[in-house]
Amino acid sequence: MEKISVGILGATGMVGQNYIRLLDNHPWFEVVYVAASPGSAGKRYRDAVTGSWHMQTEIPKKAGALIVADANQISEAKGRCELLFSALEMDRKAVAELELGYASEGFAVVSNNSTHRWTEDVPMMIPEVNPHHLDIIPEQRKKREWSSGLIAVKSNCSIQSYMTPVYALERAGYKVGRMILSTLEALSGAGYPGPSAINVMDNIIPYIKDEEEKSEIEPNKVLARIENGAFVNHEPIKVSAHCNRVPVTHGHTACVSLEFAGQKPTLGDVRRIWKDFSGVPQELDLPFAPKQPIIYREEVDRPQPRKDRDKDKGMAVVVGRLRECPVFDIRFVGLHHNTVRGAAGGAILTAELLKARGYLGH
């Protein structure tokens, strides 16, 4: 099979580097194009990231040899790739226009940026949870008169520690009504350079700009239905999120108390539902799909970021400490790798789903 040619917008930043790392030797996709700010344009990718390469593995040879293009010049990408992962870091308006520009020129754009999350006809994907949201794409193309282009986005990383577990319960017939949760989020969630070392040494910061707002509304788009070409959620979950930055490199943890709206499962039901959960990415055996999307740990003190974030190559959600909640119904701890599952890895899985569903290629 010929690989699909892929470009990375914002390739020199931390999320962009994660794409380069994770796509090295991908069975379906091949990175042939990298673009960044005008300041990096014209350099070899290797040279553009020297001194600021943050991955533990070395720069892949092939990607390292690519010449960085200017991400603002849509025309430069034309004819060179068909799928674009966007890790652009500019002001929201510029990103919004640029991503639309690429899509209107026929590129499939899968974005980490938050700009288009609430654009009406753009799906906000967690592939195990809402694979059917891709059904909006024909609407998107029709309305915008795009023949082959498209835009899909991922949700905020903060909600991914619990959205798959929550969805698993809903799919099993246990509607969730309310949740109160606290997150302990990793440094890499803030991008690079992120917090100053001196600010988080012997400290935690109980505030992340805009994070609580995103965490409270995004679940309800992710869980929405498509009705008349729009995302509609008739029974939104009420969410209260307390978001904290903690001195951990990677891995967002969430402590969740949850109340059901209708019938309630037993703890045994919940545990079994999570352990047995499997989604469309698993059925389709997509390359980046974790074998077990929800790993339940029986140990009393897990999940823990350093020990559990890399499970199934960082693509699994790891859950533990399921117990009765004295105020709501149940409570638990969820964890995921924020720069893999919650960012570049999740976007790659979305692109794989797009491919499997026939939205890529001509």
Closer to a copy of itself by CB, 44 or 141: give it: 44
Instruction: Choose, from 116, 133, 250, 252, the residue flagged as catalytic.
Output: 252
**Per CB under 8 A, 206 contacts a copy of itself:** yes
Q: What distance in Å separates the CA atoms of residue 74 and residue 159, rounded to the nearest whole number?
A: 32
Q: What distance in Å separates the CA atoms of residue 42 and residue 46, rounded to the nearest whole number?
A: 12
Specify the stretch interacting with a copy of itself by CB under 8 A; choose among 75-83, 135-143, 247-255, 351-359: 247-255
**Per CB under 8 A, 331 contacts a copy of itself:** yes
Binding track over 151-190 against a copy of itself, x by CB under 8 A: ---------------------------xxxxx-x--xx--
**Per CB under 8 A, 242 contacts a copy of itself:** yes
**Per CB under 8 A, 233 contacts a copy of itself:** no
> Is 336 a catalytic site residue?
no
**Per CB under 8 A, 139 contacts a copy of itself:** no
Give the shortest CB-133-to-a copy of itself separation in angstroms: 24
Instruction: Choose, from 157, 243, 250, 336, the residue flagged as catalytic.
Output: 157
Burial pattern 335-345, b for ≥16 Cβ within 10 A else e, equals bbbbbbbbbbb
Give Cα 200 distance to the centre of its chain.
25
**Per CB under 8 A, 61 contacts a copy of itself:** no
Residue 65 Cα distances to 29, 34, 137, 255, angstroms: 17, 10, 34, 43
The answer to whether 313 and 339 have CB atoms below 8 angstroms apart is: no
Closer to a copy of itself by CB, 118 or 207: give it: 207
Q: What distance in Å separates the CA atoms of residue 171 and residue 165, rounded to the nearest whole number?
A: 10
Helix (H) or strand (E) holding 315: none
Q: What distance in Å separates the CA atoms of residue 146 and residue 104, rounded to the nearest whole number?
A: 6
Which of 257, 292, 338, 350 is the binder for a copy of itself (CB under 8 A)?
257
**Per CB under 8 A, 267 contacts a copy of itself:** no
Q: Which of 323, 287, 322 minimizes the C-alpha distance to 303?
A: 322
Give the shortest CB-191-to-a copy of itself separation in angstroms: 10
Region 281-320 residues binding a copy of itself, contact defined as CB under 8 A: 299-307, 310, 320
Q: What distance in Å separates the CA atoms of residue 54 and residue 157, rounded to the nearest whole number?
A: 19
Q: What distance in Å separates the CA atoms of residue 348 and residue 131, rounded to the nearest whole number?
A: 14
Q: What distance in Å separates the CA atoms of residue 108 and residue 104, rounded to the nearest whole number?
A: 9
> Is 157 a catalytic site residue?
yes
Specify the stretch interacting with a copy of itself by CB under 8 A; choose among 71-79, 122-130, 149-157, 241-249: 241-249
Q: Which amino acid is at 309?
A: R
Which of 79, 147, 201, 268 is the binder for a copy of itself (CB under 8 A)?
201
Q: What distance in Å separates the CA atoms of residue 91 and residue 77, rounded to the nearest whole number?
A: 21
Give the shortest CB-118-to-a copy of itself separation in angstroms: 17
Give the shortest CB-15-to-a copy of itself separation in angstroms: 13
Largest CA distance in the chain: 60
Q: What distance in Å separates the CA atoms of residue 95 and residue 233, rounded to the nearest whole number?
A: 27
Q: Which amino acid is at 13?
A: G
Q: Which of 99, 24, 60, 58 minimizes the C-alpha distance to 345?
A: 24
Give the shortest CB-64-to-a copy of itself separation in angstroms: 14
Which of 244, 261, 265, 287 is the binder for a copy of itself (CB under 8 A)?
244
Catalytic residues, by residue number, are 157, 252
- Interacting residue ranges for a copy of itself, rule: CB under 8 A: 50-51, 54, 56, 178-182, 184, 187-188, 192-207, 216, 238-240, 242, 244, 246-249, 253, 255, 257, 299-307, 310, 320-321, 325-328, 331, 333
